Amino acid sequence: MEDQYQKPVLGQARKRRGNETQTFAYEEKSIYAGMGNGKHYYIQTHGCQGNEADSEKLKGLLESVGYVETMDEEIADLVIINTCAIREHAEAKVFGEIGRFKKRRRENKDFILAIGGCMSQEEVVVERLLKTYRHVDIIFGTHNLHRLLEFIHVVMVEKRRVVEVLSVEGDIVENVPTARDSRFKAWVNIMYGCDEFCTYCIVPYTRGKERSRRPHHILEEIHNLANQGYQEVTLLGQNVNSYGLDLDDGSYGFAELLEAIQHISIPRVRFTTSHPKDFSDKLIEVLSRKGNLMPYIHLPVQSGSNVILERMNRKYTQEEYRLLVQKIRNAIPDVSITTDIIVGFPGETEEDFENTLNLVEQCGFEGAYTFIFSPRAGTPAAKYPDTLSMAEKKRRLLTLNQLVNEGFAKGNQRFLGETVEVLIEGPSKTDPNTWSGYTPHNKLVHVKNGESYIGKRVFVKINVAKTWSLEGEICG
Ligand code: 5AD
Ligand code: SF4
């Protein structure tokens, strides 16, 4: 049985091959038709928007053969956990979740438990699952999720475990059935993988080499979404600014793609994530023309110290980053910029940390995701000597967060008394009588009486600015 498994090898995943990525269209197979009739599935999604987009494909595949989604895992015939490997904490959470289904699997032999996503791409994880979590029926990776129905079929018919994780990066598969969670906001992958190899990051190993989708496939998808009434698309890639460098002669890049998208009648376009090193002047110029391109940029800096940036392999200095922010602000004065920061990277001195604080203060971020460095097995930084105590790392995180929160609050305050456009999404998480949505600058706004506006863009007069959100009244 063991030799049927196709397990991941991180060393292989590191290699980048020169061969061109193949694109092919997903084909439905009649043998799977109706396979899920009368059955329910439950998907738990961990991690980033890339995983959320993947889960929508998994759902689309399942629904194409009759499975129906349930939010009640107790009645699910199939549970899929789409995992995240970015930090240790994320992984620990997933192992806890997998453990919870042990009893269920023992009591019901037809119940199927599948594990997909980034954790499946790690050797150590798959070994641990095979040894300790024997109730898992399917382990699949990020390169072959379009084969989900095949895996389920094997488990159902042959009653055996399926492990198929490819280390060599996959092709691009177009037209995979997709069941989107929202009727007005959509994810659109523009590329897969990452070639940056920041020394702390597991993503280039779990997601493979950078592969851009062909522009016409992306534009067609956005056209179709616009025709269906979608109000907002978020373009996804680990480093969207290097979009297209792997296509043909590399001359059709992210700026050209955005220029084309500007002409599609989709009201709002966002994108994530931008690597500072590839943010071109042409891109800034295209963004400054605005139209449907939102004045909001997530621009991870990671550290304000050149020593640390170099050790992280980020390929820019803090001076270059500041200059870029300045150039963006000159071109788009009202822009809202957020960032990602890691504290406690191996060897980070008090002075390095102070440099990060200075940069945060001076760049005027209106939000940041902040993290304590988490060593990921197989990445270079996991082997760097790390002597700083956890208590000190936590203190740095806390200090940084205070500063970040001030920026967050300032970013909200600038809209006090203004009228802003809000795409109303649904009831607020904390108060069912309040409705929430986001502005072009990605500010969270709460309103009363928003029920009939779900999925619509309305104008809201802002009368309260809090640290995390704005409040106002719909005025048109
Ligand atoms: N430890 C801590 N944070 C990390 N990130 C990525 N890898 C790690 C790690 N090993 C953070 C980076 C990245 C964000 C998505 O997650 O800040 O931008
Ligand atoms: Fe990870 Fe760096 Fe790639 Fe972002 S750019 S996914 S941090 S390796």
pLDDT at residue 167, as a whole number: 84
Residue in the structure block whose two tokens are 């396979």 = 35
Mutate to test the pocket of ligand 2, among 203, 271, 301 (most ligand atoms within 8 A of CB): 203
Instruction: Give the mean pLDDT of 76-80.
Output: 97
Tell whether ligand 2 has an atom less than 6 A from the beta carbon of residue 194.
yes
Tell whether ligand 2 has an atom less than 6 A from the beta carbon of residue 221.
no
Tell whether ligand 2 has an atom less than 6 A from the beta carbon of residue 198.
yes
Instruction: Give the mean pLDDT of 251-276.
Output: 97
- 4-164 folds as Rossmann fold (3.40.50)
Of 10 and 180, the structure prediction assigns the larger pLDDT to 180
Give start and end residues of each alpha helix (H) in 208-349: 215-227, 254-262, 281-288, 306-311, 318-331
Give the C-alpha separation, 302 to 304, whole Å: 7
Where does the pLDDT of residue 235 fall: very low under 50, low under 70, confident under 90, or very high at 90 and above? very high
Tell whether ligand 2 has an atom less than 6 A from the beta carbon of residue 235.
no
The length of the chain is 476
pLDDT at residue 1, as a whole number: 44
Where does the pLDDT of residue 352 fall: very low under 50, low under 70, confident under 90, or very high at 90 and above? very high
Show the tokens assigned to 88: 């240790």
- The rounded percent of the chain whose pLDDT value lies above 70 is 99
CA separation, residue 111 to residues 59, 64, 115, 149, 180 (Å): 17, 20, 14, 15, 25
Mutate to test the pocket of ligand 2, among 192, 275, 315, 369 (most ligand atoms within 8 A of CB): 275
Q: Whose CA is closest to 48, among 194, 175, 228?
A: 194
Where does the pLDDT of residue 175 fall: very low under 50, low under 70, confident under 90, or very high at 90 and above? very high
CATH superfamily of 419-474: Nucleic acid-binding proteins (2.40.50.140)
pLDDT at residue 13, as a whole number: 81
Give the C-alpha separation, 55 to 45, whole Å: 7
Q: Please report the atom of ligand 2 found closest to the CA of residue 340.
A: 7
Instruction: Give the mean pLDDT of 56-69.
Output: 98
- The rounded percent of the chain whose pLDDT value lies above 90 is 89
Q: How many Cβ atoms are within 10 Å of 219's Cβ, its own excluded? A: 17
pLDDT at residue 2, as a whole number: 47
pLDDT at residue 90, as a whole number: 85
Residue 432 pLDDT > 90: no
Residue 217 pLDDT > 80: yes
Give the list of residues 6+ apart from residue 91 with CB closer than 8 angstroms, or none: 83, 84, 85, 119, 125
What is the domain class of 176-411 according to CATH? alpha beta
Residue 285 pLDDT > 60: yes
Residue 263 pLDDT > 60: yes
Tell whether ligand 2 has an atom less than 6 A from the beta carbon of residue 201.
yes
Query: Which ligand has an atom closest to residue 298 CA?
Result: 1
CATH 3.80.30.20 residue window(s) in the chain: 176-411
pLDDT tens figures, 360-386: 999 999 999 999 999 999 999 999 999
Q: Which helix (H) or strand (E) holds 241?
A: none
Tell me phi and psi for residue 253, to 5 degrees: -110, -160
Residue 454 CA, chain-centre distance (Å), reads: 24
Q: Please report the atom of ligand 2 found closest to the CA of residue 207.
A: 6
DSSP for 23-89? EEE----GGGTTTTTT-EEEEEE-SSHHHHHHHHHHHHHHHHTT-EE-S-GGG-SEEEEEE--SSHH
Q: What angle do CA 167, 54, 237 make, to 5 degrees?
A: 75
Query: Which ligand has an atom closest to residue 241 CA?
Result: 2
pLDDT tens figures, 125-171: 999 999 999 999 999 999 999 999 999 999 999 999 999 998 887 78
pLDDT at residue 3, as a whole number: 47
pLDDT at residue 169, as a whole number: 73
Among 32-41, 158-167, 175-184, whose mean pLDDT is lowest?
158-167
Where does the pLDDT of residue 332 fall: very low under 50, low under 70, confident under 90, or very high at 90 and above? very high
Give the C-alpha separation, 4 to 96, whole Å: 27
pLDDT tens figures, 403-431: 999 999 999 999 999 999 999 999 988 88
Residue 29 pLDDT > 70: yes
Tell whether ligand 1 has an atom less than 6 A from the beta carbon of residue 354.
no
pLDDT at residue 416, as a whole number: 98
Residue nearest to atom 2 of ligand 2 (CA): 198
Buried residues in 406-437 as b, exposed as e (16+ CB within 10 A): ebbeebbeebeeeebbbbbbeebeeeeebbbb
Mutate to test the pocket of ligand 2, among 194, 311, 314, 340 (most ligand atoms within 8 A of CB): 194
Mutate to test the pocket of ligand 2, among 48, 195, 198, 298 (most ligand atoms within 8 A of CB): 198
CATH 3.40.50.12160 residue window(s) in the chain: 4-164
Tell whether ligand 1 has an atom less than 6 A from the beta carbon of residue 365.
no
CATH 2.40.50.140 residue window(s) in the chain: 419-474
Tell whether ligand 2 has an atom less than 6 A from the beta carbon of residue 204.
yes
pLDDT at residue 466, as a whole number: 97
pLDDT at residue 244, as a whole number: 96
Tell whether ligand 2 has an atom less than 6 A from the beta carbon of residue 210.
no
Instruction: Give the mean pLDDT of 225-236.
Output: 98
